[in-house]
A and B are shown apart, each in its own frame.
Chain A
Amino acid sequence: MSGFSIRGGRVVSADGVVERDLFVRDGKIVAGDEGSAFAESIDATGKLIFPGLIDTQVHFREPGAEHKEDLASGSLAAIAGGVTTFFEMPNTNPPTTTPEALADKLRRCEGRAWSDHAFFLGATEDNVDSLDEWEHTPGCCGVKVFMGSSTGSLLVDDAAVLESILRNGQRPVAVHAEDEARLRARYATIPSGSPYNIHPEVRDPTAALLATTRLLDLAEKTKRRVHVLHISTADEIELLRERDLKGLVTAEATPNHLFLEAPDCYNRFGAGVQMNPPVRDRRHQEVIRQGVVDGVIDCIGSDHAPHAPEEKAKPYPDSPSGIPSVQMTLGLLLTAVRDGWLALEDIARLTAAGPAAIFDIHDKGVLKVGADADLTIVDPSIVQPLPEQWVRSRAGYSPFVGTPLAGWPVCTMVRGAIAYRDHEPVGKAAGRPVTVG
């Protein structure tokens, strides 16, 4: 591949926003003295250039539920939103609980996944003794534990099992922290057909706080690094701030918890905004936003979790939980910059440098010489309401359609190759497995 330059854009990093040219050869960022001779150039004048987003929590449903999404359609939505690397969760069918199941996902990605990728290995009571070996499977980004919100073998609601999982391995363990016993007790009391807006009361803040507290205790006890997924409560933010376990514990927020607000969102979208842990009211949203700004939150992952519209139409609580949002993260965060509570630098920190640091991803997350040329070019002059026809997920809907934008990605590159431009895919899906650690 010959080299080319990207000229005149404002390049965003966690350290600042600087107008400068980027030079790309063989899929990597190269220095200017090497690149100034490149004949080919892309004009990015007036545009913002972000490091490609690394979304470390998506559910692409393959294998087993391809009617909701698959690795091709999910990763297409990803690059449409500037996400050049995704880490996918193990609750597929069959679940990703063995190296063979993980290898199967990697094979399925060949020629079909648009973004670079890696997969979580799901921890179960049965595979706990193998995790320290299996976590080094090629294409594995780490271990995922469901303390609540799952069924079958993936559910780990036993403290002793959780502790042995944490004692078996080195890589960070990503955890869905809700207290299963409390959830069961509360679900047992609600009649079918209850309004969707009781979801944040059924899965209440205490359920999240109980599990996260237990998790932090175990992390401290075992010294194993844990990554707390989708923080949904003010209480957890305060807990994380108080316990101050930086270096041992990292935390994620989702665009859903940052940009949707109960009760309004349930009144407008019903099951369309039902997810686990739930989107809560403005008090929680404000504190999570503050945590995102001041560093309590280390990264933003979308928790992209699509369902078919007819599934979402079921009465509560049979309606499945999950919101498709892998494509929305960057656009939504740009509205936060417009509204003044977030800086452009924060976006690069939370969506690229942050995830790269948590999961020890090499050569991605920062646009520096020697790194992969994973990037997305944003046109800040796109300020229209988000049109429905831009939504790429197979789910086909998004509660964020109609959001007044403050910029939107118009060109996404994976390792120097344009994969998405002007709302259309370009070339062939050429995502590759990511090496971590």
Chain B
Amino acid sequence: MVSVSDFAGRDVITVNEFRRDEIVFLLDAAAQFEQVTGTLLAGRVIATLFFEPSTRTRLSFESAVGRLGGSCVGFAEAGVSSQAKGESLADTVRVVEGYSDLLLLRHPLEGAARLAAEVAQIPVVNCGDGAHQHPTQTFVDLYTMQRECGRIDGLHVVFAGDLRYGRAVHSLVSVLTLFNARITLVSPQFLRLPEEQRRTLETLGVEYREMESLEASLPEADVLYMTRVQRERFTDPTEYDKFKDAYTLDMSVLQNARDSLAILHPLPRVQEIAREVDVHPHAAYFRQAHYGVAVRKALMALILGHADKVLA
């Protein structure tokens, strides 16, 4: 049985450190925290050490802290001056842990969150690193499916667009293997899910298929997870132009889908979802961003040992 004590004081560095029952527990807690505001974290200080800018993630966390009556200290971008003239990361952590109860770290280098967690006596949450481990984003994606579809187990999830480089996709695919999901991967050959990931799916016996046509993938889908194709990925700009239009979701493409299809996107979008889709009742991507606050409220309350006042 999972209990609040399993989360107290815990570092959150990758999603793979979480068992299925722990994730389910966290998502249930998030549901109960959705409407919670107040003073649960009154007097608690959360340090946001953002060594590279990530405005969305930082705002989501700061909103969650504010809703629960806590406060944030930190910086949004590194530099010699903001960084105490080039103090070592280990020293920064040792200083800041004396000012705060929880450390949120965003950093361009893989391994920095792990290092911070080793140095710090207080818990550390990885808010994105060089290798794009971003565990709270994955929890938010799962929570969105739970909220929009009422369940995660057995859902048929279509991933479309850039599956090669979209690390949000990689983390989510790997966690969905814990939930008996059916997975359809829609991408041009060039942007397929990496072989290593596909092999993992096969090893785990996960039912998945790959296709190139977005329209053909939709009829049986419960969830469509769109991703953006970034221009910078391409050595040659003409290649980008070839691929960029291949996966644009608009109302005519949606004709092939069930009315209940939930549409997710980690945002920001470029052109891969037409503006006309925004009014679709199951266009969930803005709600997805909002759910992030509930998930982060629950996670921080659990880590700081205050969740039992809310959880039934």
Cβ–Cβ contact A338 & B109, under 8 A: yes
A32 CB-CB contact with B under 8 Å: yes
Measured between beta carbons, the chain B residues less than 8 angstroms from A293 are 79-80
Given known pairs A19-B165, A33-B239, the reply for A341 and B85 (CB within 8 Å) is yes
- How far apart are B228's CB and chain A's nearest CB, in angstroms? 13
**B: contact size bracket:** 35 or more
User: Among the interface residues A35, A290, A380, which one has the most CB atoms of the partner chain B within 10 A?
Assistant: A380
Q: Which of B174-182, B230-238, B300-308 lines the interface with chain A?
A: B230-238
CB nearest to A292 among chain B residues:
B80
Cβ–Cβ contact A20 & B239, under 8 A: no
**A: contact size bracket:** 35 or more
Cβ–Cβ contact B235 & A341, under 8 A: no
A417 CB-CB contact with B under 8 Å: no
Which secondary structure dominates where chain B touches chain A?
loop
In the bound assembly, the distance between CA atoms of A17 and B82 in angstroms comes to 22
Measured between beta carbons, the chain A residues less than 8 angstroms from B194 are 8, 45
Cβ–Cβ contact A341 & B236, under 8 A: no
Measured between beta carbons, the chain A residues less than 8 angstroms from B109 are 334, 337-338, 344, 380, 406-407
Given known pairs A19-B233, A33-B239, A290-B81, the reply for A381 and B110 (CB within 8 Å) is yes
In the bound assembly, the distance between CA atoms of A344 and B89 in angstroms comes to 16
Interface residue ranges of A270-302 to B (CB < 8 Å) = 285-286, 289-290, 293
A336 CB-CB contact with B under 8 Å: yes
Measured between beta carbons, the chain A residues less than 8 angstroms from B85 are 286, 289, 341
Interface residue ranges of A195-228 to B (CB < 8 Å) = none
Given known pairs A337-B109, A380-B109, the reply for A23 and B232 (CB within 8 Å) is no
- How far apart are A350's CB and chain B's nearest CB, in angstroms? 14
Cβ–Cβ contact B235 & A23, under 8 A: yes
Q: Which of A17, A337, A369 makes the CB contact (< 8 A) with B235? A: A369
In the bound assembly, the distance between CA atoms of A36 and B192 in angstroms comes to 14
Cβ–Cβ contact B86 & A289, under 8 A: yes
B32 CB-CB contact with A under 8 Å: no
B87 CB-CB contact with A under 8 Å: yes
Measured between beta carbons, the chain A residues less than 8 angstroms from B110 are 46, 380-381
Cβ–Cβ contact A380 & B232, under 8 A: no
Q: Which of B79, B90, B196 makes the CB contact (< 8 A) with A341? A: B79
CB nearest to B190 among chain A residues:
A36
Measured between beta carbons, the chain B residues less than 8 angstroms from A406 are 109, 111-112
In the bound assembly, the distance between CA atoms of A29 and B87 in angstroms comes to 38
Given known pairs A289-B85, A407-B109, the reply for A340 and B78 (CB within 8 Å) is yes
- Over the window 1-43 of chain A, the binary record of Cβ atoms lying under 8 Å from chain B Cβ atoms (1 yes, 0 no) is 0000000101000001111111100000101110110000000
B130 CB-CB contact with A under 8 Å: yes
Interface residue ranges of B117-172 to A (CB < 8 Å) = 130-131, 165
Measured between beta carbons, the chain B residues less than 8 angstroms from A18 are 230, 232-233
B108 CB-CB contact with A under 8 Å: yes
- How far apart are A281's CB and chain B's nearest CB, in angstroms? 13
Cβ–Cβ contact B232 & A20, under 8 A: yes
Measured between beta carbons, the chain A residues less than 8 angstroms from B238 are 33
CB nearest to B233 among chain A residues:
A20
In the bound assembly, the distance between CA atoms of A334 and B89 in angstroms comes to 12
B83 CB-CB contact with A under 8 Å: yes
B100 CB-CB contact with A under 8 Å: no
CB nearest to B189 among chain A residues:
A36
In the bound assembly, the distance between CA atoms of A293 and B78 in angstroms comes to 11
A343 CB-CB contact with B under 8 Å: yes
Interface residue ranges of B15-52 to A (CB < 8 Å) = 51-52
In the bound assembly, the distance between CA atoms of A16 and B233 in angstroms comes to 11
Q: Which of B79, B108, B196 makes the CB contact (< 8 A) with A17? A: B108
Interface residue ranges of B61-82 to A (CB < 8 Å) = 78-82
Measured between beta carbons, the chain A residues less than 8 angstroms from B87 are 339
Cβ–Cβ contact B80 & A339, under 8 A: no
A313 CB-CB contact with B under 8 Å: no
Cβ–Cβ contact B235 & A380, under 8 A: no
CB nearest to A29 among chain B residues:
B235
Measured between beta carbons, the chain B residues less than 8 angstroms from A407 are 109, 111
Interface residue ranges of B178-234 to A (CB < 8 Å) = 190, 194, 196, 230, 232-234
- How far apart are B68's CB and chain A's nearest CB, in angstroms? 28
A383 CB-CB contact with B under 8 Å: yes
B248 CB-CB contact with A under 8 Å: no
Cβ–Cβ contact B239 & A32, under 8 A: yes
In the bound assembly, the distance between CA atoms of A303 and B276 in angstroms comes to 60
22 contacts between A and B (CB under 8 A): A8-B194, A10-B130, A20-B165, A20-B234, A22-B235, A31-B236, A32-B239, A33-B236, A46-B110, A285-B86, A289-B85, A337-B108, A340-B51, A341-B80, A341-B83, A343-B52, A343-B78, A369-B236, A380-B110, A380-B130, A380-B131, A383-B115
Query: What 9 A-B pairs are tightest by C-beta distance, nearest first?
Result: A340-B78, A341-B86, A18-B232, A31-B236, A340-B83, A286-B85, A32-B235, A380-B110, A341-B80
Binding site for A on B (CB under 8 A): 51-52, 78-83, 85-90, 92, 107-112, 115, 130-131, 165, 190, 194, 196, 230, 232-236, 238-239
Binding site for B on A (CB under 8 A): 8, 10, 16-23, 29, 31-33, 35-36, 45-46, 48, 285-286, 289-290, 293, 334-341, 343-344, 369, 380-381, 383, 404, 406-407
Additional A-B contact list (19), CB under 8 Å, known A8-B194, A20-B232: A20-B165, A21-B235, A23-B235, A31-B236, A32-B235, A33-B238, A36-B190, A45-B194, A335-B88, A338-B111, A339-B89, A340-B51, A340-B82, A341-B80, A343-B52, A343-B108, A369-B235, A369-B236, A381-B110
